[in-house]
């Protein structure tokens, strides 16, 4: 258990929280939510003891073992992927190496050697400790966890340095899970996970016996792993003892009550002010007027802060250029690089008004397929066809980085928007959570999520009838994702989007395009229909249990293969004293 009592913490002149109290009970499963910049990561680090508060107290229960996955954990590691996952068990590997060395030494000495007895005694101690730690189960367990997080069997023995930052994060997550802490802190754990790995982690955490605090902008993930919510906003930590979806509903109820309370106060204050204005100058009413002024002061002190409500899209998008039924199609199209094929004989047709989600594991070729559809890459075989009326706009993963740092938010849109829409740009930006003078901020001072919102607003104004979006939810907080959902839902043109955000796909997609092991399959119906079809397919076709297969499906395979069990305690984590 961790207790934070009356914590104050600030960065420079900005006070993140003052008087904050938080009790993390044993076994609690908590989602820590709030807008970008609210201080969620800072609060995690205060709870972990990495940041010292300016005032207040932190109390950690004896025997606690804390585990923490930060948003970025790209520290250099010179070993293999498997060795990184086994970091929590280094002492076990050290004992095995010492025992092997002793056996080698003893094999080369005479039976009457005076040091043999001491070596035999030490070998017995080492073997006893290895048996206690179930040495022979550690490596298979590590391989199962790595497999669940997407590492193929052959990749687990490759140097970790050969992998991208996202895959190094997965290896760090595997090491953390295998350490079996009593309280696990995860800061945006799904940032680098594809859908199979997310689902595997959800199943894994469902069986995790310790406490859990998770920061995430993935709404489905939060619903599945957390049973309570703590909201950090405006320096205030608010308790919602319920799952995430119920929290969203309860938050609106509480907001409505606060707004009604403030409205009643304002009505009373207005009445009292009218009395003071009418009779304040009269000697006969002076004492009454003074009394009313004091009442006004007391009432003003009772005003409650009401969090700003996201406005949602209140903007009519420009009608897309006229087009026929079909916008782009692939006929028997194949694409690959010198060392591998990405997909073969793909047959895809995108029609006017389609909203298509492209899904698949990381590395399956989703972005490649999107770029072929966009005409940025030529198929190696087969055809890509468009019509003379097709007008497409492509949003790359790093589109936000192309904004001019010296340009304002409003100027970034004015630079590309059709002239007839410029008078309405502030309305669009308001829908994208840029209110008032926010539109005059320079792009250089914006957060990653704010830059992403500007880039998305800009592309939605392009005169296109087909939008191709690659991971548009990157850096967006929950409010930003809701705005994007509203925008894509109301956008009058066709949309193709690569994303791992299941809430967005469930809300927007009318068809799903799956890229899997070189095959491209178009599923009719929305994301929920696709999920049902996928789970049915996986239940009927058991996946191989060999190392290197992906995470177990949410439906138990017919061959009885089970998800990786919770790792045994490593014993390597330093307990609290």
Looking at the structure, do residues 335 and 410 belong to the same domain, yes or no? yes
Instruction: Determine which helix (DSSP H) or strand (DSSP E) holds 263, and give its type and residue range.
Output: helix 244-279
Looking at the structure, do residues 522 and 392 belong to the same domain, yes or no? yes
Q: Is 551 left (phi over 0), alpha (psi -120 to 50) or beta?
A: beta
Looking at the structure, do residues 416 and 287 belong to the same domain, yes or no? no
For residue 91, what pLDDT band results from cuts at 50, 70 and 90? low
pLDDT at 249: 93
**E-assigned strand segments in 375-420:** 381-386, 392-395
Mean pLDDT confidence for 82-88: 88
Looking at the structure, do residues 217 and 271 belong to the same domain, yes or no? no
Does residue 555 form part of some domain? Answer: no
Mean pLDDT confidence for 191-197: 88
- Beta strands 29-33 and 211-215 are parallel
Contact 475, 501 (CB under 8 A): no
For the beta sheet containing 355-359, the strands, ordered from the edge strand earlier in sequence to the opposite edge, are: 392-395, 466-470, 494-498, 355-359, 511-516, 519-524
Is the pLDDT at 170 greater than 80? The verdict is: yes
Please indicate whether residue 273 or residue 4 has the higher confidence score (pLDDT): 4
Does residue 331 form part of some domain? Answer: yes
Looking at the structure, do residues 59 and 194 belong to the same domain, yes or no? yes
Does residue 553 form part of some domain? Answer: no
Instruction: Please report, for the domain that includes residue 205, its CATH number.
Output: 3.40.50.300
**E-assigned strand segments in 474-532:** 494-498, 511-516, 519-524
Identity of the highest mean pLDDT range in 187-191, 240-244, 255-259, 295-299: 240-244
pLDDT in tens, 356-405: 999 998 889 999 999 999 999 999 999 999 999 999 999 998 888 889 99
Helix (H/G/I), strand (E/B), else coil: 213: strand
pLDDT in tens, 127-137: 776 776 666 78
pLDDT in tens, 418-449: 888 888 898 888 888 888 899 999 999 998 88
Looking at the structure, do residues 381 and 264 belong to the same domain, yes or no? no
Give the position of tokens 């104004």: 461
Is the pLDDT at 568 greater than 80? The verdict is: no
The reported pTM is: 0.78
Give CA–CA dist 498/470, Å, rounded: 5
pLDDT at 418: 82
Give CA–CA dist 97/117, Å, rounded: 19
pLDDT in tens, 517-565: 999 999 999 999 999 998 888 887 654 443 334 433 333 323 333 334 4
Does residue 38 form part of some domain? Answer: yes
pLDDT at 316: 66
pLDDT at 133: 65
Is the pLDDT at 411 greater than 50? The verdict is: yes
Looking at the structure, do residues 280 and 391 belong to the same domain, yes or no? no
Looking at the structure, do residues 216 and 354 belong to the same domain, yes or no? no
How many structural domains is the chain composed of?
3
Alpha helix segments (H runs only) across 313-414: 366-374, 409-414
For residue 311, what pLDDT band results from cuts at 50, 70 and 90? low
Does residue 130 form part of some domain? Answer: no
- Which domain, by its residues, includes 273? 247-301
Tokens representing residue 562 in the block = 């089970």
For residue 152, what pLDDT band results from cuts at 50, 70 and 90? very high
pLDDT at 282: 73
Mean pLDDT confidence for 53-67: 93
Which phi and psi angles does 18 have, rounded to 5°? -145, 125
Give CA–CA dist 60/48, Å, rounded: 9
For 256, half-sphere exposure in the C-beta direction (CA atoms, 13 angstrom radius) is: 6
pLDDT in tens, 2-52: 999 999 999 888 899 999 999 999 999 999 999 888 899 999 999 999 999
CA-nearest of 300, 46, 87 to 173 is 87
Least confident among 177-181, 284-288, 543-547? 543-547
Which phi and psi angles does 328 have, rounded to 5°? -155, 145
pLDDT at 553: 33
pLDDT at 132: 63
Please indicate whether residue 307 or residue 500 has the higher confidence score (pLDDT): 500
Q: How confident is the prediction for the chain on average, in pLDDT?
A: 86
Provide CB contacts within 8 A for 279, sequence distance 6+: 285, 288, 289
Does residue 295 form part of some domain? Answer: yes
Does residue 524 form part of some domain? Answer: yes
**Residue 424 neighbours by CB distance under 10 Å:** 14
Is the pLDDT at 235 greater than 80? The verdict is: yes
Mean pLDDT confidence for 252-263: 89
Looking at the structure, do residues 442 and 464 belong to the same domain, yes or no? yes
pLDDT at 551: 39
Give the position of tokens 């594809």: 194
Looking at the structure, do residues 353 and 259 belong to the same domain, yes or no? no
For residue 77, what pLDDT band results from cuts at 50, 70 and 90? confident
pLDDT at 135: 61
Helix axes 90-107, 116-132, angle to 10 degrees: 150
Does residue 525 form part of some domain? Answer: yes
Identity of the highest mean pLDDT range in 54-68, 264-278, 416-430: 54-68
Looking at the structure, do residues 257 and 236 belong to the same domain, yes or no? no
Looking at the structure, do residues 387 and 512 belong to the same domain, yes or no? yes
């Amino acid at each position: 258990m961790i207790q934070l009592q009356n914590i104050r913490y600030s960065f420079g002149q900005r006070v993140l929280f003052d008087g904050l109290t938080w009790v993390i009970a044993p076994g609690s499963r908590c989602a820590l939510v709030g807008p970008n910049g609210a201080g969620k990561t800072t609060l995690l680090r205060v709870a972990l003891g990495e940041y010292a508060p300016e005032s207040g107290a932190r109390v950690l229960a004896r025997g606690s073992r804390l585990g923490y996955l930060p948003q970025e954990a790209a520290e250099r590691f010179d070993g293999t992927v498997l060795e990184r996952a086994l970091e929590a068990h280094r002492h076990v590997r050290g004992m095995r190496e010492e025992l092997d060395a002793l056996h080698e030494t003893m094999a080369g000495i005479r039976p009457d050697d005076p040091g043999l007895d001491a070596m035999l005694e030490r070998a017995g101690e080492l073997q006893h400790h290895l048996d206690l730690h179930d040495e022979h189960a550690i490596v298979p367990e590590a391989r199962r966890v790595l497999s669940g997080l997407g590492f193929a069997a052959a990749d687990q023995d490759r140097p970790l340095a050969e992998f991208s930052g996202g895959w190094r994060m997965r290896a760090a997550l595997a090491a953390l899970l295998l350490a079996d802490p009593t309280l696990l802190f995860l800061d945006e754990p799904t940032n680098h996970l594809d859908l199979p790995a997310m689902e595997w982690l959800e199943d894994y955490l469902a069986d995790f016996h310790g406490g859990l605090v998770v920061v995430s902008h993935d709404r489905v993930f939060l619903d599945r792993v957390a049973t309570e919510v703590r909201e950090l906003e405006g320096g205030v930590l608010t308790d919602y003892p319920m799952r995430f979806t119920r929290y969203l509903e309860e938050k609106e109820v509480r907001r409505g009550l606060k707004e009604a309370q403030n409205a009643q106060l304002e009505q009373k204050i207005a009445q009292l002010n009218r009395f003071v204005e009418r009779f304040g100058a009269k000697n006969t009413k002076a004492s009454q007027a003074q009394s009313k002024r004091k009442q006004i002061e007391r009432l003003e002190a009772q005003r409650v802060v009401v969090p700003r409500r996201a406005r949602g899209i209140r903007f009519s998008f420009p009608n897309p250029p006229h087009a026929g039924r079909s916008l782009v199609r692939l006929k028997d199209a194949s694409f690959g690089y010198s060392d591998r094929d990405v997909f073969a004989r793909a047959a895809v047709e995108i029609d006017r008004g389609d909203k298509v989600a492209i899904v698949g594991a990381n590395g399956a070729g989703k972005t490649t397929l999107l770029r072929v559809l966009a005409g940025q890459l030529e198929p190696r075989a087969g055809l890509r066809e468009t019509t003379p009326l097709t007008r497409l706009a492509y949003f790359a993963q790093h589109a936000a980085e192309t904004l001019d740092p010296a340009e304002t938010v409003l100027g970034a849109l004015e630079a590309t928007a059709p002239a007839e829409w410029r008078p309405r740009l502030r309305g669009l930006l308001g829908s994208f959570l840029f209110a008032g003078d926010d539109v005059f901020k320079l792009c250089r001072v914006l957060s990653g999520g704010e830059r992403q919102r500007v880039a998305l607003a800009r592309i939605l104004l392009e005169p296109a009838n087909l939008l191709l979006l690659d991971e548009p939810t990157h850096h967006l907080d929950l409010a930003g994702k809701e705005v994007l959902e509203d925008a894509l839902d109301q956008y009058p043109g066709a949309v193709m989007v690569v994303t791992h955000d299941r809430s967005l796909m469930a809300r927007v997609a009318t068809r799903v395009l799956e890229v899997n092991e070189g095959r491209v399959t178009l599923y009719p119906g929305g994301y929920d229909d696709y999920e049902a079809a996928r789970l049915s397919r996986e239940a009927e076709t058991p996946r191989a249990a060999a190392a290197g297969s992906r995470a177990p499906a949410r439906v138990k395979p017919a061959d009885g293969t089970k998800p990786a069990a919770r790792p045994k305690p490593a014993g390597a984590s330093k307990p609290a004293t």
